[in-house]
Amino acid sequence: MKILKVDHIGVAVKDSEAGIKFFSNLLGLKLEGQEVVAEQKVKTTFLPVGDTEVELLEATEADSPVAKFLEKRGEGVHHIAFSVDDLDAAIKELQENGIGLIDTKPRIGAGNKRIAFLHPKYTFGVLVELSEANK
Ligand code: CMX
């Protein structure tokens, strides 16, 4: 498996606008765009920084993974996403090494990228997303 970079760091927020006030207006990160990922019931806000991004995550429905996270743990770092060169190969290698995946098949995430989440129980409590660089 080849990890290319940290693609983004997902931060769960109750209110995207409040998050933007801090990360963009105060810290000066560029507000690149927003996208609702209906399947994940989340509104994402992208704030590039260098070669990576901060991704704010706001729940759009009460039963979304982000809503559950906020309820249980409060606002904070929700996941770290790595870019990989070949997502199918990465999934296979992880499975062969006994790592539990939430997505054993890639799904489509924000930015139309192919993604897969690993279960935090297998990754030292850190929700890890693998994302395939758009070819
Ligand atoms: N980071 C670390 N641990 C997490 C976590 C997170 N983001 N979310 C949940 N957990 C932990 C819980 O605290 C719990 O730990 P304990 O058993 O020690 O209490 C454990 O994982 C299981 O949690 P749960 O409440 O029983 O299970 P959930 O139904 O909340 O599911 C998870 C957890 C990770 C499987 C689910 O959130 C998931 O499938 N996530 C992947 C999809 C996702 O997060 N989408 C939102 C972002 C989308 C995007 O970026 O586009």
Decide if 41 contacts 108 (C-beta within 8 A): no
Query: What tens digit of pLDDT does each residue of 51-81 get?
Result: 999 999 999 999 999 999 999 999 999 999 9
Examine the pLDDT at 135 and tell me if it is beyond 80.
no
Query: What tens digit of pLDDT does each residue of 83-98 get?
Result: 999 999 999 999 999 9
Catalogue all structural domains in the chain, each as residue range(s) with its CATH number.
3-132 (3.10.180.10)
Ligand 1 atom nearest residue 72's Cα: 13
Ligand 1 atom nearest residue 68's Cα: 30
119 Cα to the center of ligand 1, angstroms: 8
**pTM of the entire structure?**
0.96
- Is the CB of 109 within 6 Å of ligand 1? yes
- Is the CB of 65 within 6 Å of ligand 1? yes
Cβ neighbours of 78 (radius 10 Å): 22
Cite the beta strand spans of 15-134 per DSSP E: 33-37, 42-49, 52-59, 76-84, 107-108, 114-118, 128-132
State which of 69, 101, 114, 122 you would mutate to test the pocket of ligand 1, scoring each by most atoms of that ligand within 8 A of its C-beta.
69
Mean of pLDDT values over 3-26: 98
- Is the CB of 130 within 6 Å of ligand 1? no
